Amino acid sequence: MPIYFLKRVLYVIPIALAVSFFCFSLVHLSPGDPMDAVVSPDAPSEVVAMVQRAYGFDRPLPEQYGRWVLRAVQGDLGLSAANGRAVTAEVFSALKNTLLLAFAASLIGFTLGCVFGTLAGYFQGSLLDRLVTGIAVGGVSVPHYWLGMLLVIIFSVELNWLPSSGAGPGSSSDWNVEWAYLRHLILPAVTLSVIPMGVVTRTVRAMVADILAHEFVEALRAKGLAERQVFRHVVKNVAPTALAVMGLQLGYLLGGSILVETVFSWPGTGLLLNNAIFQRDLPILQGTILVLALFFVMLNLIVDLAQARLDPRIQRG
Amino acid sequence: MNNSLSLSRHDALDRGGKAQPLLRVRGLQKHFTITRGGMGRQAKRVHAVDGVDFDVYKGETLGIVGESGCGKSTTARLLMHLLAADHGEMVFDGDPIGQRGGISVRGMRRQVQMVFQNSYASLNPRMSVEDSIAFGPQVHGVNRRESRQRARRLLDQVGLSSRLFAHRYPHELSGGQRQRVNIARALALEPRLLILDEAVSALDKSVEAQVLNLLMDLKQEYGLTYLFISHDLNVVRYISDRVMVMYLGKVAEMGEVEALYRAPAHPYTRALLSAMPSMNPDQRTQQAPLVGDPPNPIDLPPGCRFCPRCPMVEDACRDAEPALEACGTAHQVACRRADEVMAGAVPVKRISEESPT
Amino acid sequence: MSLTLDGAQADAPVPAPVQGYWGAVFGRLRRDPVALVSGIVLLMILLAALFAPWLAPASPFQTSMLNRLQPIGSPGYPLGSDELGRDVLSRLIHGARLSLLIGVMPVINAFVIGSAIGIVAGFVGGRTNSVIMRVIDVFYAFPAVLLAVALAGALGAGLVNSLLSLTIVFIPPIARVAESVTTQVRSVDYIEAARASGARSLTIIRRHVLGNVLGPIFVYATSLISVSMILASGLSFLGLGARPPMPEWGLMLNTMRDAIYVNPWVAVLPGMMIFTVSICFNMLSDGLRSAMDVKL
């Protein structure tokens, strides 16, 4: 048993290295000289050479990569090409907002998904089931950036209940969460929640229906168990998978929030990334993607380990 | 009828004459690695086939029997070169297979074909019966039209009306029908040797008998040689000329079918035969059937590998592995006490009492 | 319950209608109302895209400074006009061309490339397979949207780059499914039988493997089109895909973002189109999956 856990944990290392390599290559995938973003092309050649040396662009690529990884391990992802601030600080202050948004969206999506899925699974084939299934398909099919616009139109423009963009005044640095901040969080979180809502609904519905069709449930009922106890049984069987699906969804949201963050100008990693792309701020681009991907890898690891813990069959697979 | 054509093909391909074995197998070995060695761990190996020698003579049916896991099917797959053997030499009608100066594996596969146990899995579900049969000839350069004609002819020959069945798909057929298709498919390359790996084992008894009779007819018609693998001793006796008994990857005993069934020389064969239900109450023996599972083929006991279950085991058996030796005309056995077994001196002791868990 | 014995019937010929596999699948699909409606809607949008120049009442590029941001139902602008006074209906019809192209093409490309990778990996097996699949695993370290944006962002804005990055996004999942289906098929006896008949690997893949694995892979790929539509238009929405003044739904949504304060219901129309196509593909894919009885 510990061998599986150890193997799974160690497997993260090559993946993390590959991810870092991918992020490093991104800069070299992009057309043009990575220097262009730092110095204007018409700068005098000695200035270019100096900056080149400062950034290490004059070294051979493998060496550049090695240095980059070494510095990244120490938490140094370089300086933003646009404003000269430390990439690490920029990314992590944005990550705070993205995490909060993703957690809020997951919470909403998971709760709704579980309720909808259970109802549909219990009343399989009914009108309610069909309605819920429709909502679920809608949730995974809707372009969420468009849904965000719809919500803004309804709740900000027409009803004027909620703010349509930004994160309120006290958003930038501290973890101090205030009402103004939460008000700004509501619309993006609801928008983003439809994806996990759809996915969780589908999973839970399929599993509940499957378990209820099993003979052991009939046996339980035959033994005279109350419906409440049968329900506990269903929950026990569905919960691990639903949680695992949710864990992965949380990861997808971390990366997937970019479009929603753009719609609502939510100051998270997505907006940071979007700005970095258009300012050709490659260190920020690189750093943001690296941090998000590593976060996703760790989340996958946690989900896998938790699942293996709950379901011993996985370890043998 | 077209069989005169195939017979003449066989005559043309025949090289060493009747006396030369069609297939000669020496020292065939296949071990499967389960856990890889290294990092201080001992590599674990399954001795699936562990040094097997035998000949298949032209025109005979050689039966191979043994419990599941004794290496019968692995032997068949090694012969077809579907698995690569670790060691061993296979000579087809005088030509070493897959060696310089011999016959190529592809060439061998034209002359040796195989019918698998699972009639459903061995047919491509997306191919019509006709296409499945015609596939082999097409691979060997027969054009589409001709190969289809051959497929239809073969369907009729295995007792399935080509008019009704040619365009059916496997899921539209019964088990017996599918196995007939598999036989036709194997015959489509006009092989000289047909390996039947538990080919009738999954069929109902009545269907099994029909297919067995079909096999006997086809053998006659095409002058085929069969290697018939089964766990069913009755069926093997019915169809075979000679029998080879395998135990844990090795040959325990081999001989003419009637002689061997009448007077088995290996305690294992004896146990197998006594476990066989007989229709005649007088022939039912008091001997307890074989009890216990074969030892784990990963950790084989030293010496004779039947020791842990053998009612006649003595200390010397545990020291050295007995070699396959002659014990009468065309009868070979790998047992130190074969003479006593043949004489009927088997203790009444139940095998289960001996077998360690 | 009937009292027939299974054994007694076993060898009797089964009268079965001669009907191809795809005929049966199509028949089942046609009896699925949801899939049928989705299919018809998609077909209509596809036809609109093909015949856009004849169907569209006006040019999608004709601007008019006097008629900017007209509401739905204005004379000459049945679905209103955009921020430059172009006819929204005409732009929606013309936009179907580009939006469908950049949404569907990546999946088609990835289907071809991913299937090839996965089938070869699965068929060859062993160490080659492990190496290929480990490389594929690396791509699973990125959420799809992030990967698409990262690649498109690094490669630079543009249609070709957005197509390319989405293709790269969808290759790994398709390759994974292809590998797993092929690995299952590879160990089935009919592949052994084909090898025993002396066929070479390529022949076996072509005649025996493809027919049995392409169906499930195809079904899986169709389920990705919906995501691909959202992502492709999303990239355009971010300004990484189609460039102005091309009519493309995601880009239209972006350029009309500010119009939500003036004329909200015109501004959301392009998103409505993306949603419709995406949901129809999703439901058609679900229908196809059950019609083909694919379990992934």
CB within 8 Å: C138 and A256:
no
Could you please report the per-residue DSSP string of B138-200?
Answer: HHTT--HHHHHHHHHHHHHHTT--HHHHTT--GGGS-HHHHHHHHHHHHHTT--SEEEEESTT
Q: Is residue C107 part of a domain?
A: yes
What residue ranges define each of the domains in chain B, with the CATH number in brackets?
3-36+43-240 (3.40.50.300), 265-351 (no CATH)
> pLDDT at residue C102 above 90?
yes
Mean pLDDT of B160-172: 89
Residues of C in contact with B144 (CB under 8 A): none
pLDDT digits (tens, 9 = 90+) for A126-160: 899 999 999 999 999 999 899 999 999 889 888 87
Chain A hits for C142, CB-CB cut-off 8 Å, are: 19, 22, 255, 289, 292-293, 296
CB pairs under 8 A between B and C: 88
Spell out the alpha helix ranges (H) of chain A.
Answer: 2-10, 12-29, 45-55, 61-73, 87-122, 127-141, 144-151, 179-213, 215-222, 227-256, 258-264, 269-278, 282-310, 313-316
Per the domain annotation, does C80 fall within a domain? Answer: yes
Inter-chain CB proximity B204 and C7 less than 8 Å: yes
Bigger pLDDT: A26 vs B130: B130
A141, C230: Cβ pair inside 8 Å? yes
Pick from B141-145, B340-344, C43-47: least confident:
B340-344
Q: Which of C10, C189, C190 is closest, CB to CB, to B204?
A: C10
Which pLDDT score, from 0 to 100, does residue A174 have? 53
Per-residue tokens: A116? 């909808």
**Do C189 and B127 count as a contact with CB atoms less than 8 A apart?**
no
One-letter amino acid of A219 = A
Question: Which of A141, A164, A195, A273 to probe the C interface (max C CBs under 10 A)?
Answer: A141
- Over residues B66-70, the mean pLDDT reads 82
User: Could you say which residues from 188 to 227 on chain C have a Cβ atom under 8 Å away from some Cβ of chain A?
Assistant: 226
The whole-number pLDDT of residue B145 equals 92
Domain that holds residue C126: 41-60+68-291
* A300 lies within 8 A of chain C by CB: yes
Q: Which of C189, C203, C208, C212 to mutate to test the interface with B (most CBs of B within 10 A)?
A: C189
Maximum distance among all Cα pairs of chain A, rounded to whole angstroms: 87
Of C11, C198, C208, the CB nearest to B174: C11
Q: Given a cut of 90, is residue A64 above it in pLDDT?
A: no
Q: For an interface test with B, give the residue of C187, C190, C206 to mutate (most B CBs within 10 A).
A: C190
Which residue intervals of chain C are DSSP H helices? 6-9, 21-30, 33-50, 52-55, 88-124, 126-139, 144-155, 159-186, 189-196, 201-204, 210-238, 249-255, 264-267, 269-291
pLDDT mean across residues, chain C: 87
CB contact under 8 A, A255 and C261: no
C11 touches chain B (CB under 8 A): yes
Beta-carbon separation of C268 and A149 below 8 A: yes
CB contact (8 A) between residue A143 and residue C141? no
More confident residue, C100 or A180: C100
Between B343-357, C22-36, C58-72, the lowest mean confidence (pLDDT) is in B343-357
Q: Which tokens is A315 given?
A: 């370890």
Domains in chain A and their CATH numbers? 2-73 (no CATH), 88-316 (1.10.3720.10)
| pLDDT > 60? residue B182 | yes
pLDDT band at A41 (very low <50, low <70, confident <90, very high): low
Looking only at Cα atoms, what is the longest distance across chain C? 84
> Is this structure's pTM higher than 0.95?
no
Which residue, among B105, B115, B122, would best test binding to C if mutated, counting the most C CBs under 10 Å from its CB? B122
pLDDT for the residue A177:
61
Is any Cβ of chain A less than 8 angstroms from the Cβ of C172? no
- Give me the pLDDT at residue B188, please: 92
Chain C residue whose CA is closest to B169:
C18
Interface of C with B in 184-243 (CB under 8 A): 188-190, 192-200, 203, 207-208, 211-212
| CATH at residue C203 | 1.10.3720.10
Neighbours of C6 (CB within 10 A): 8
Write out the two tokens for C112. Answer: 């071809």
> Which residue, A272, A72, A64, A299, is CA-closest to C150?
A272
Pairwise CB contact (< 8 Å): C197 & B189: yes
Would the pLDDT of C46 be above 50?
Answer: yes
Average pLDDT on B114-137 reads 91
Q: Is residue C7 part of a domain?
A: no
**Predicted pLDDT of residue C100:** 95
Most trustworthy range by pLDDT among A3-17, A70-84, B280-294, C240-254: C240-254
Q: Which residues 222-281 in chain C show a CB within 8 A of chain A?
A: 226, 229-230, 233-234, 237-240, 250, 253, 257, 260-261, 264, 267-268, 270-272, 274-275, 278-279, 281
Which of C34, C41, C99, C138 to mutate: most A Cβ within 10 Å? C138
Judged against a pLDDT cut of 90, whether residue B151 lies above it is answered with yes
Q: Which residues pair with B61 in a beta bridge?
A: B226
Pairing of strands B87-92, B250-256: unpaired
Residue A70: is its pLDDT beyond 60?
yes
Share of chain B above pLDDT 90, in %: 32
Range of lowest pLDDT (A55-59, B187-191, C204-208, C229-233)? A55-59
Among residues 224-283 of chain A, which lie with CB inside 8 Å of chain C?
Answer: 251-256, 258-259, 262-263, 273-274, 276-278, 282
Q: Cα(A222)–Cα(A214) distance, rounded to whole angstroms?
A: 13
Q: How far apart are CA B151 and CA B164, in angstroms?
A: 13
Q: Please report residues of A whose CB lies closer than 8 A to that of C132.
A: none
Using pLDDT thresholds of 50, 70 and 90, give the confidence band for residue A4: confident
- Please name the residue of chain A whose CA is at the shortest distance from the CA of residue C233: A143
Query: Is the CB of B174 less than 8 angstroms away from the CB of C190?
Result: no
Q: How confident is the model at residue B78 (pLDDT cuts 50, 70, 90)?
A: very high
- Encode pLDDT of B193-251 as tens digits: 999 998 888 888 888 888 999 999 999 999 999 999 998 888 999 999 999 999 888 89
Residues of chain B neighbouring C14 (CB-CB closer than 8 A) = 172-174
**Is C207 inside a domain boundary?**
yes
- Give per-residue pLDDT as tens, B81-99: 988 888 889 999 888 888 8
pLDDT digit string (tens) for B299-357? 777 788 888 788 778 888 888 888 888 887 888 888 888 777 777 765 544 444 444 43
Q: Are B171 and B219 in contact (CB under 8 A)?
A: no
The percentage of chain C sitting over the pLDDT mark of 70, rounded to a whole number, equals 93
Total domain count, chain C:
1
Q: What is the pLDDT of residue C12?
A: 46
Cβ pairs bridging A and C (under 8 Å)? 139
Cβ-defined contact of C154 to A153 (cutoff 8 Å): no
Chain C, residues 76-105, CB within 8 A of chain A, namely: none
Residues 6+ apart with CB under 8 A from A134: none
Q: List CB contacts (< 8 A) between B136 and chain C.
A: 197-199
